[in-house]
């Protein structure tokens, strides 16, 4: 059993940390203040191969393991939490395309994602259907040899910035088997978007996206007609562990700042770290972060070895964002008035991480998956 990265993975981690501190971190707070996705970000991420991590080398990607994608999310999360959404989206969507699209579709779509030319998003959630995604209502109405999409998707990450999307739409009857997946051009005039004014992650442009007769052809159908729900949802298992590491990266950055503050700040003639009321919560935070980090990497290791990882991925998704929120909050309190100022990044990290306690699966859904994994479906909710 090996709990460390190999030499190549460790070199990648160290190089990426240096790069992220230099290129990403300086824009983290200013991008939040502007509340607009910075176009240069995709090019910057692509220059480090971060938008093509899970794309095969023949299509311009890195062909990286799931563990390496997790390393990337963790290190980017330390520097610029919101830049990590490009890793989540491109890794998840690329994986869907690699597993279910035709060779011709892969050759057309994947190189543009890898190069940063295409910023993709995934459109599942609807105004009346979030957790119950199989009940979605957006319709794909037959039109000649293709379809026209009618309906609305909401709470779409990168919804204002993306130019292409994996869209789940109903092509058949009720339930999951009536749902198909399409690769849709969001620059079509029949697409309209409404930006949300959010508590955190303001730079990623979460949005509502409306489709008013958007045309799609059979060449844009991903996989089999009626097979879209299963093909898309399968990819969320490992992406949830990547989400966990993104959150933990932000928490680790906050903990490092709080530890340094505990060394430097003095009260009653000694560093405040000398006081158990300061040092013990930080010790607890470091312990919990290490445990959650191991769960995340275990899920990704299992993915790389083609082993069942749904339970571990659900553990990562439920625990890591919740824990990261709690740790960052504690770090803000440790920093005191300095942390409460908008000039410090710790408050923004707190606002940003809370979003992933909701997005990509609630804690309740994750616990349901865990319970079924432990008890078996016949004995679980």
Distance CA 275, CA 17 (A): 32
Tell me the CATH number of domain 121-226, given options 2.60.120.10, 2.40.110.10, 3.40.640.10, 1.10.3720.10. 2.40.110.10
Residue 153 near residue 209, CB atoms below 8 Å:
yes
Indicate if the pLDDT at residue 129 is higher than 90.
no
Q: Are strands 221-222 and 179-185 parallel, antiparallel or unpaired?
A: antiparallel
Domain boundaries of the chain, sorted by first residue: 7-118, 121-226, 235-379
C-alpha count within 13 angstroms, C-beta hemisphere, residue 155: 15
Asked: is 7-118 a CATH 1.10.540.10 domain? The reply is yes
Give the model's pLDDT for residue 143.
94
Mean pLDDT of the 145-173 span? 96
Give the model's pLDDT for residue 74.
98
Mean pLDDT of the 28-43 span? 96
Indicate if the pLDDT at residue 1 is higher than 80.
no
Taking only the tens place, the pLDDT of each residue in 322-368 is 999 999 999 999 999 999 999 999 999 999 999 999 988 899 999 99
pLDDT confidence bin for 296, thresholds 50/70/90: very high
Indicate if the pLDDT at residue 114 is higher than 90.
yes
Report phi then psi at 19, rounded to 5.
-65, -45
pLDDT more than 70, % of the chain: 100
Query: In terms of pLDDT, which residue wins out, 161 or 229?
Result: 161
pLDDT confidence bin for 236, thresholds 50/70/90: confident
Arithmetic mean of pLDDT over the chain: 95
Query: In terms of pLDDT, which residue wins out, 246 or 133?
Result: 246
pLDDT confidence bin for 32, thresholds 50/70/90: very high
According to CATH, what is the number of the domain 235-379? Answer: 1.20.140.10
120: β partners: 164
DSSP designation for 125: -
Q: Tokens at residue 341, please?
A: 């100022």
Q: How many CB atoms lie within 10 A of CB 270?
A: 9
Give the model's pLDDT for residue 186.
97
From residue 319, alpha-carbon distances to 182, 199, 246, 315 in Å are 32, 21, 13, 6
Residue 222 near residue 228, CB atoms below 8 Å:
yes
Q: Tokens at residue 98, please?
A: 């690699």
Kindly give the residue spans of alpha helices, DSSP state H, lying in 3-83.
7-23, 28-34, 40-47, 66-79
Handedness of CA 324, 326, 329, 335 (dihedral sign): negative
Indicate if the pLDDT at residue 121 is higher than 80.
yes
288: β partners: none
Taking only the tens place, the pLDDT of each residue in 37-50 is 998 999 999 999 99
DSSP designation for 376: -
């Amino acid at each position: 059993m090996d709990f460390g990265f190999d030499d190549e993975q460790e070199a990648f981690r160290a190089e990426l940390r240096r790069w992220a501190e230099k290129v990403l971190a300086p824009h983290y707070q200013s991008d939040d203040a502007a509340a607009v996705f910075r176009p240069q970000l995709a090019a910057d991420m692509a220059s480090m191969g971060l938008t093509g991590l899970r794309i095969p080398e023949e299509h311009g990607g890195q062909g990286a393991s799931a563990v390496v994608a997790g390393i990337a999310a963790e290190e980017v999360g330390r520097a610029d939490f919101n830049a990590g959404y490009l890793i989540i989206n491109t890794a998840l969507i690329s994986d869907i395309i690699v597993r279910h699209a035709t060779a011709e579709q892969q050759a057309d779509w994947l190189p543009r994602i890898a190069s940063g030319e295409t910023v993709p998003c995934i459109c599942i959630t609807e105004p009346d259907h979030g957790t119950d995604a199989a009940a979605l209502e957006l319709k794909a109405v037959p039109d000649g040899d293709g379809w026209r999409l009618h309906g609305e998707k909401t709470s779409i990450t990168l919804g204002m910035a993306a130019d292409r999307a994996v869209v789940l739409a109903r092509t058949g009857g009720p339930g999951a088997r009536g749902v198909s997946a399409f690769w849709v051009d969001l620059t079509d005039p029949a697409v309209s978007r409404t930006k949300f004014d959010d508590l955190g992650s303001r730079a990623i442009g979460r949005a509502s996206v409306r489709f008013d007769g958007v045309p799609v052809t059979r060449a844009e159908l991903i996989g089999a007609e009626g097979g879209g729900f299963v093909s898309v949802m399968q990819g969320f298992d490992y992406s949830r562990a990547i989400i966990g590491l993104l959150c933990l990266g932000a928490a680790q950055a906050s903990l490092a700042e709080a530890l340094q503050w505990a060394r430097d700040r003095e009260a009653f003639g000694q560093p405040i770290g000398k006081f158990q009321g300061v040092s013990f919560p930080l010790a607890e935070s470091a312990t919990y972060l290490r445990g959650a980090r191991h769960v995340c990497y275990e899920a990704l290791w299992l993915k790389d070895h083609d082993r069942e990882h749904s339970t571990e991925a659900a553990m990562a998704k439920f625990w890591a964002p919740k824990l990261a929120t709690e740790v960052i909050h504690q770090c803000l309190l440790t920093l005191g008035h300095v942390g409460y100022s908008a000039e410090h990044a710790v408050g923004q990290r707190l606002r940003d991480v809370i979003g992933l306690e909701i997005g990509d699966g609630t804690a309740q859904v994750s616990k349901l998956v865990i319970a079924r994994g432990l008890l078996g479906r016949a004995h679980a909710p």
